Structure formats: C-alpha cells, structure tokens
C-alpha cells in the first residue's frame, strides 16, 4: 500500500467553519484562522515548490484557481500537482476573454437558479460580450451583448460582489481625424450592472465637452472618479448622475426602440444604447491633486490616500481625513491595496548588494503582512517572502523562493492561507507560474518538483 494521504488542514478547518462541528460559524472561523496562522508561522513549517508551469498567454490567480489561455483553462492550485477543473473550447481571436472577475454567492440571498449558488466568472470578450461562466465547469450560464459603438475592455467592481463597471477603451478617433486636429468629444463609456441576476443600471458616456480635458475616468463605490493630466482628481455621485441624466430606463431582454432602430436590449446586434448622457456638469463632491492621479478612498471614518503632486514625492503616500483634508500623521505605510499598515520600511534600492523590498501586501484572514525582499547576487537575484506581525512588525517567518528573481521582469506574488504563488512575466510574453504549498512534516524530502501543466 502507498503512503496514507495526510488530511488537508485548510479543508478540515473550512468544514468546521461551515458548521460541521459547531453552530457558531463566526467564532469557529476566527479560531480556525488563528490555528492556521500558528501553523504557518511555526519554525518546522516549510513552503515547498510543488509545481511550476510556463505559458505564452497571461496567467491569472483567484481564490485557489489558476487561469491560463485568457481564462479558458482553469487549474486548481490546491492539489500537489496541476489538476484541471475545466477547459473551454478553442475560439477565434475576436472571442477571447480580455478581462474577468470572480463572483461568489452572497450569504442569505434567495437566488432564481440552483447554479447561482456556486461561484461564477464574469468575463468580458474581445467582441463585446459579457459572460457569466460557471467557475467549476466552464459552462456559459448567461451572456449579454454590450454594444457596437465602442470597444469595451476592462472589468472592475463598483461595489464588490454586487455591482460591476465595464469600461471601454479610450476613443482616440481615426488617424485622419487626428491629423486634421478633430477631437472626439466622448473619451470613454462606462456600463454598470448589478449582478445575479444581471440587471442593467445604465451606460454612461464621459464627454470632454462637459468635463473638460479629462484623461481618464472610473467608477468605485458609487462614485464617479474623473482624472486630468495635471493630476487633478474630481469625484461625483453616480446615483445623482443616473437620476438626473438617464434618458430612458432599459431592461435586459426587453424590446426597445432607440434612434429609429428596434431591438432587444442585451442581444446582438442591437446591444445596449448609451442611456445616460450628461448635459450639464453634475454637483462636485470633492477634488484633490495627486501625482499621476494616484487616489484611493475608504475606511471608517472616511479617509483618502494620495501622493503629493511633485515628482520628488513619488513613492510617498499621504492619508487624509475626507471631512477636513487633515493629514493623518500617525500612519507610516500603506499597501498597494490601500490598507493602512503599522510598520515602516526603508526602500533599499540605492545599493544592489542590499535587500530591496519589492512587494508589500496584507493577508487579512491571518492578519499577516507579507513582504517580498530581493537580494542581487552577481547577475542573479534571489527573493524570499517574509511574514510580519501586522500589529508589531515582528518578523515571524521567512520563505525562500527557489527560482531566480530578475528585477526587470514583472512579478506578482500571492499568499493565500496555505499557498504561495509567484507569477512572472518574462520578455517576449513568456509567463511562468510557481506554486508553493505549506508542508508541516519536516521528514518529507525538500527537493523541488517541477511538473508541466
């Protein structure tokens, strides 16, 4: 008989958190995560490179799933070797998925279909279709045709797990028009949907005749954020805009007459007309100037994060109270995700012989600060992932990464419970993925296993 399979710690803890061993899931979940944090940080625990794979297309990671081939192939990162969850049929270049978001079932909501209680991938294709795909089977559950008058390219959460914003590429006009000095008044479009079941809020155009020489715009937490080349950032209420400037309410799947054409909203070739057109500048909520338009807002009470609008201030973040713009002097460092951290780091990028901190992030479930530090040894860089206590900054664990680290490449590192995943983009669009898993048995052999996906 072969060796007995060891129980998966995270799986057992998750089963308990779901109520298998207690009715008080919240308390059990917190206890479980405390146990897992102790396991992660204990001296005998190692993180082992269990497999590595390479791809010619971008690699993405989301909650235990690794996506290849523009999200058409999904592999589980939980197993000790690549385990394919699904692979969608091959498609033409125009049908490829350009961006995607993972949607997870809300707690306590009654949903129309049994399949709605499982996770879905909300995907945007190159030919302007918005898809809802089963995250476990790859089956297309819903599809919406957006429009023919622009090229939609980006997906983001307006309200996480509730409202999505689909953003178009910027309208630069034809080459002939640009040579003639003719500017396109509409910079871009934002399509806004509530998810599950999909319902349309509206499609908004960002018009330079209204907002001036705007360079970009986005939607976040019900706020329209408009940006300018000078570094100016202006905030407006999307709800106010929708109520004031919506020309006609549109419902997906319903017949509609628009501009002399009749069709079904959300179906090809009619799509969804732009039904929110601002004719006057809406009331301004707030404005601030920041280097490269770097701006984030959140917290309780409300605070915002900016970089002072001077080149020499790049890398410096100010956290200010929204109500009075006062700088919070107690805050030392901010992560890329906008979370305030109680620990200060000095960036040692002036001496290649010293360690350079490249990625700082926060693991909220385990309350750990993760830091990727890189040391340049001759022509090769070596990296390690350090876990620090978020409250005191104490170093609790250091995990060496076996692969070399070239500082000129693009890198992403994910720490997710008992998993560490490193995605690297090399020149000529070569992507590599290195998967590490937590190992508590020190008797196991330490050599790296490379398996192709």
In a domain, 10, yes or no: yes
For the CA atoms of the chain, what is the radius of gyration? 24
In a domain, 85, yes or no: no
SS3 state at 313: helix
- The verdict on 132 and 244 lying in the same domain is yes
pLDDT value for 329: 66
- The verdict on 435 and 388 lying in the same domain is yes
In a domain, 411, yes or no: yes
Q: Cα separation of 268 and 380, whole Å?
A: 52
- The verdict on 330 and 215 lying in the same domain is no
Q: How many H-runs (helices) and E-runs (strands) does the chain carry?
A: 5, 31
In a domain, 94, yes or no: yes
In a domain, 66, yes or no: no
Mean pLDDT of 35-57: 90
| Alpha helices in 187-344, H assignment, sequence order | 208-211, 238-245
Mean pLDDT of 140-154: 95
Cα dihedral sign, 161-165-166-168: negative
Count CB-CB contacts under 10 A for residue 148: 12
pLDDT value for 231: 93
163-168: strand order across its sheet: 152-159, 163-168, 186-194, 199-207
Q: From residue 23, give the alpha-carbon distance in Å to each of 28, 33, 34.
A: 9, 17, 18
Mean pLDDT of 185-214: 94
Count of structural domains within the chain: 4
* Structural tokens at position 370: 């993760």
* Side-chain-facing half-sphere of 138: CA atoms under 13 Å: 17
- The verdict on 314 and 408 lying in the same domain is no
pLDDT value for 331: 54
Q: What are the E-state strand segments in 94-231?
A: 97-103, 120-125, 129-134, 140-145, 152-159, 163-168, 186-194, 199-207, 214-220, 223-228
Bridge partners of 435, per DSSP, are 51, 421
- The verdict on 53 and 126 lying in the same domain is no
Structural domain harbouring 7: 1-40
In a domain, 184, yes or no: yes
pLDDT exceeds 70 at position 76: yes
Which pLDDT tens digit goes with each residue over 383-393?
Answer: 999 999 888 88
Q: Cα separation of 52 and 59, whole Å?
A: 12
pLDDT exceeds 70 at position 377: yes
- The verdict on 153 and 272 lying in the same domain is yes
Residue with tokens 């940080």: 41
88: which DSSP letter?
A: P
Residue with tokens 């969804």: 272
In a domain, 82, yes or no: no
State the pTM of this model. Answer: 0.82
Which pLDDT tens digit goes with each residue over 438-448?
Answer: 988 655 444 44
- The verdict on 357 and 445 lying in the same domain is yes
- The verdict on 135 and 248 lying in the same domain is yes
pLDDT value for 176: 73
Q: Cα separation of 275 and 254, whole Å?
A: 15
- The verdict on 208 and 144 lying in the same domain is yes
Residue 323's region, left for phi above 0, alpha for psi from -120 to 50, else beta, is: alpha
- The verdict on 249 and 110 lying in the same domain is yes
Peptide bond into 451 cis (omega under 30): no
Tell me the CA end-to-end span of the chain in Å, nearest whole number: 27
pLDDT grade for 287, boundaries at 50, 70 and 90? very high
- The verdict on 57 and 174 lying in the same domain is no
In a domain, 339, yes or no: yes
- The verdict on 335 and 379 lying in the same domain is no
CB of 355 within 8 A of CB of 375? Answer: yes
Which pLDDT tens digit goes with each residue over 298-337?
Answer: 777 888 889 889 888 887 888 898 888 888 766 544 444 4
Dihedral of the alpha carbons of 358, 364, 366, 370, in degrees to the nearest 10: 0
């Amino acid at each position: 008989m072969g060796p007995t399979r060891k129980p998966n710690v995270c799986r057992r803890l998750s089963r308990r958190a779901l109520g298998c061993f207690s009715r008080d899931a919240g308390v059990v979940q917190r206890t479980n995560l405390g146990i897992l944090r102790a396991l992660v940080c204990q001296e005998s625990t190692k993180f082992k490179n269990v497999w590595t794979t390479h791809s010619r297309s971008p690699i993405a990671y989301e909650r235990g799933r690794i996506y290849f081939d523009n999200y058409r192939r999904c592999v589980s990162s939980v197993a000790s070797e690549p385990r394919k969850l699904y692979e969608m049929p091959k498609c033409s270049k125009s049908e490829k998925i350009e961006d995607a978001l993972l949607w997870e079932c809300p707690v306590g909501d009654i949903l129309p279909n049994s399949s709605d209680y499982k996770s879905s991938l909300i995907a945007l294709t190159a030919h302007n279709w918005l898809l809802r795909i089963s995250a476990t089977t790859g089956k297309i559950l819903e599809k919406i045709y957006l429009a023919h008058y622009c090229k939609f390219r980006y997906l983001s959460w307006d309200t996480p797990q509730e409202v999505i914003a689909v953003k178009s590429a910027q309208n630069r006009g034809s080459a002939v028009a640009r040579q003639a000095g003719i500017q396109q008044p509409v910079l871009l479009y934002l399509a806004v949907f509530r998810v599950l079941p999909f319902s349309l809020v509206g499609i908004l155009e960002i018009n330079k005749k209204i907002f001036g020489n705007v360079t970009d715009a986005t939607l976040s937490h019900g706020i329209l954020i408009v940006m300018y080349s000078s570094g100016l950032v202006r905030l407006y209420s999307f709800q106010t805009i929708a109520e004031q400037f919506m020309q006609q309410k549109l419902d997906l799947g319903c017949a509609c007459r628009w501009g002399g054409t009749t069709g079904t909203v959300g179906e090809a070739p009619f799509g969804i007309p732009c039904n929110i057109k601002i004719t006057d500048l809406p009331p301004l909520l707030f404005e601030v100037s920041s280097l490269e338009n770097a701006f984030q807002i959140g917290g309780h009470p409300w605070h915002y994060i900016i970089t002072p609008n001077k080149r020499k201030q790049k890398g410096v973040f100010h956290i200010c109270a929204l109500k009075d713009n006062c700088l919070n002097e107690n805050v030392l460092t901010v992560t890329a995700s906008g979370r305030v951290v109680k620990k200060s780091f000095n960036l040692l990028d002036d001496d290649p012989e010293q360690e350079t901190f490249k990625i700082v992030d926060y693991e909220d479930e385990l309350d750990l600060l993760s830091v990727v530090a890189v040391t340049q040894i001759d022509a090769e860089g070596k990296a390690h992932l350090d876990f620090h206590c978020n409250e005191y900054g104490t170093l609790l664990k250091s995990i060496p990464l076996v692969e070399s680290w070239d500082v000129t490449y693009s890198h992403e590192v994910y720490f997710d419970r008992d998993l560490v995943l490193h995605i690297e983009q090399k020149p000529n669009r070569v992507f590599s993925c290195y998967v590490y898993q937590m190992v508590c048995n020190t008797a196991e052999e330490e050599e790296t296993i490379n398996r192709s996906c």
